[in-house]
Amino acid sequence: MIKKWEEVPFFPNPGEEATYWREHQLDPALMASSLSRTEGQDSTTITLRMDPRMLSRLKRIAARRYLNYQSMMKQWIAERLEKELPGS
Where do the structural domains in the chain lie, given as residue ranges? 1-35, 50-88
**How many Å apart are CA 74 and CA 45, to the nearest integer?**
12
**How many Å apart are CA 23 and CA 7, to the nearest integer?**
14
CA separation, residue 25 to residues 9, 43, 72, 79 (Å): 13, 30, 19, 19
- Farthest-apart Cα atoms in the chain, separation: 42
For each of the chain's 88 residues, which pLDDT tens digit applies?
988 888 988 888 888 889 999 999 988 888 777 765 555 567 788 999 999 999 999 999 999 988 899 999 999 998 898 888 876 5
Identity (one letter) of the amino acid at 77?
Answer: I
For residue 2, what are the β-bridge partners?
26
